[in-house]
Amino acid sequence: MKKLTGVGLGFRAKMADELIARSPEGIDFVEIHPENYVSRGGIFRRRLHAAMERWPVLTHGLTCGFGQTEPVDGEYLTSLTALLQEVNTPWHSEHLCFGGAGDTFVHDLLPLPPRPETLEVAAARFFEMQDRIGRPLSFENVSYYAPMSADPLDEARFCQSLIERGAKIMLDVNNVYVNSQNFGFDPREWINLIDLDAVVQMHVAGHEVREDGLRIDTHGEPVPDPVFELLEYTLRRSGPRAVLLERDNNIPELDTLLAELSRLREVYDRAIAQPRNLEARP
Amino acid sequence: MIPADLSLEAYEDHVVALCFSAAPAETDFARLGAPERWKIYRRMVRSRISKVCVSAMPRTMRCLPEERRKALFSQWMAEDPPRTRIFRELPVQFGAWAKPHLLADSRAWLSELAEYELLSWTVRTVDERNAQPSEALSFERPVVMSPSVRLFSAAHAVHIKRADEAYPQERVFACLYRDPDTSKAVTMSLSPFIYDLMRRWHIAPAESLTESVQRTVTARGSGIDTKLIDGLSGVLADFLQRGVLLGSLPSSA
Ligand SMILES: [Fe+2]
């Protein structure tokens, strides 16, 4: 199968029906959160099947953070695996974070201290999950608001260590940018620390800037210019990948979203039209 | 910064406690450095979880003053924090926890309203792939219901929306199901007999339709007459048309 590349859109309940009815040009794939579809019927399943008839569907989980310390939830992984098979996703992604402790779920993506202990936990969990779901898995770097390390670039080194163990990354460019602004580092330096051959997919999104300057990763705003610039920088070094526009909150009219997707397409086409930049690789 | 002597597991437990404890101490926030930032996490987590509960039971929530609502959410998160990874299931977990608190309210209809709203919320997303196989309806075989069907009985007419939120006392027997075409939750009022019959279908799913009718009639101390038979045929036809009933269990099953 040819590797999936191009630009895609997060498939969200609020705009799903219109997106299906219009089936506009220029969408190479859509992405779903499997938690919203596992063991769920009714209109959600119908929409999912309509999406599958039109586009390749990628899956992006929210609740199997690789930093969790309790054993993986085998029952959930069984239902998840069935769903991944149903939509035939070429790969699945989860976050390099934790989302609870024991049997308690916070329903948020909480940051991990980049330490050897965490790396062991995350690597073990990553490969166990990949074995269980029986298809390629990747981890997403998250945005965070409380400092995890004296040097914020330790996060990139931590991701790279996991890559060196054999994991693939679902690189969220907006998250790198948000963290760079909140913790004061050059986001390109962060990208330069990553082996971009290990990138299977990327995310771009918008975020909120609070009055005190703190940036919160809301996925509720248009993608700002510096995030597009960082994406272009990354794509020039990685070559073509699947790039998703994430919009989860404050979802605008579909035309507005499609206009943003066209802008993403322009950036994408421009970046991959140039010869690949192979400098500054780890 | 995260103290180096805090293990990953202890760090995660600490953060979860910061999110869900009723009132973490300043020192608890400060332990991980950047206390203000951890307070942001706490606020985001709690608001996201409360919001989905409010959206699942808007009418119930409107009847609770903001302070009372906040106090309930806070007590819930401290006593019985979310144990499901499925976001849409959070309101049901909250509802189960909150039931005794709502029952204690002077408005006797409040807990019934909460139960009704949560049933509507659940019915919309039941997985129809859990349906048993079915063939044409036969009195000799057990019935097959849509997996979305839920029974509801109450002492107040909470299933009818009212602007003044003073739900009148009225014995209500109903079932909720998902309309197969619109995927919306539908409430259907039932006679006490049909309600009991459907309960029988839930309790004794292996019984033939004839048996379940006989047992229901006996339990109610009434008899089978032509009026009952005619009424029943009309209801069964309506159930099949609405998708409440899918048919009968095949004889091979
Ligand atoms: Fe993302």
Q: Identify the pLDDT of residue B128.
A: 81
A to B CB pairs, distance under 8 Å: 116
Given CB atoms, is A155 within the 8 Å cutoff of chain B?
Answer: no
Q: Identify the pLDDT of residue A281.
A: 63
| Average pLDDT of the segment spanning A122-146 | 97
| CB atoms A147 and B15 under 8 Å | no
Q: Identify the pLDDT of residue A277.
A: 85
The domains of chain A are located at 6-273
- Provide the phi-psi class of A169: left if phi over 0, else alpha when psi is between -120 and 50, else beta: beta
Domains with residue ranges and CATH for chain B? 1-105 (no CATH), 129-253 (3.90.930.50)
| CB atoms B8 and A112 under 8 Å | yes
Please choose, from the candidates B87, B157, B152, the residue with its C-alpha nearest in 3D space to the C-alpha of residue B120: B152
pLDDT tens, residue by residue, A65-105: 999 999 999 999 999 999 999 999 999 999 999 999 999 99
Judged against a pLDDT cut of 90, whether residue B29 lies above it is answered with yes
In which band, very low, low, confident or very high, does the pLDDT at A1 lie, cut at 50, 70 and 90? low
Q: Are B9 and A118 in contact (CB under 8 A)?
A: no
Q: Are B78 and B22 in contact (CB under 8 A)?
A: yes
What chain A residue is nearest to B14 in terms of C-alpha separation?
Answer: A101
Q: Identify the pLDDT of residue B229.
A: 87
Judged against a pLDDT cut of 90, whether residue B248 lies above it is answered with yes
- Which residues have a beta carbon within 5 Å of ligand 1, which is an ion? A 172, 203
Q: Is the CA virtual torsion A222, A227, A229, A235 positive or negative?
A: negative
Class of A6-273 in CATH: alpha beta
Given CB atoms, is B88 within the 8 Å cutoff of chain A?
Answer: yes
Q: Are B77 and B49 in contact (CB under 8 A)?
A: yes
In which band, very low, low, confident or very high, does the pLDDT at B163 lie, cut at 50, 70 and 90? confident
Mean pLDDT over the full length of chain B? 94
> How deeply is A38 buried, as exposed, middle or buried, from its count of CB atoms within 10 A (0-12, 13-18, 19+)?
middle
Given CB atoms, is B181 within the 8 Å cutoff of chain A?
Answer: no
- For residue A41, give the nearest of B9, B86, B126 by CB distance: B126
Can you read off the two tokens belonging to residue B133?
Answer: 């196989």
CA A228 to chain CA mean position, Å:
15
Given CB atoms, is A71 within the 8 Å cutoff of chain B?
Answer: no
- Tokens 């769920």 identify what position? A40
| Average pLDDT of the segment spanning A229-242 | 97
In which band, very low, low, confident or very high, does the pLDDT at A282 lie, cut at 50, 70 and 90? low
Given CB atoms, is A108 within the 8 Å cutoff of chain B?
Answer: yes
Q: How many angstroms separate the alpha carbon of residue A203 from the centre of ligand 1?
A: 5
| Average pLDDT of the segment spanning B99-105 | 96
Judged against a pLDDT cut of 60, whether residue A120 lies above it is answered with yes
| CB atoms B129 and A43 under 8 Å | no
What whole-number percentage of chain B has pLDDT above 70? 100
Judged against a pLDDT cut of 60, whether residue A223 lies above it is answered with yes
Q: Identify the pLDDT of residue B10.
A: 97
| Average pLDDT of the segment spanning B189-211 | 96
Q: Which residue has the higher pLDDT, A58 or A217?
A: A58
Q: Which residues of B touch A110 (CB under 8 A)?
A: 12, 15, 41
CA-to-CA separations, B219 to A69, A140, B152, B197, B223, in angstroms, rounded: 53, 59, 19, 10, 10
ipTM above threshold 0.90: yes
Q: Identify the pLDDT of residue B176.
A: 98
Q: Identify the pLDDT of residue B127.
A: 85
| CB atoms B87 and A35 under 8 Å | yes
Q: Which residue has the higher pLDDT, B252 or B79?
A: B79
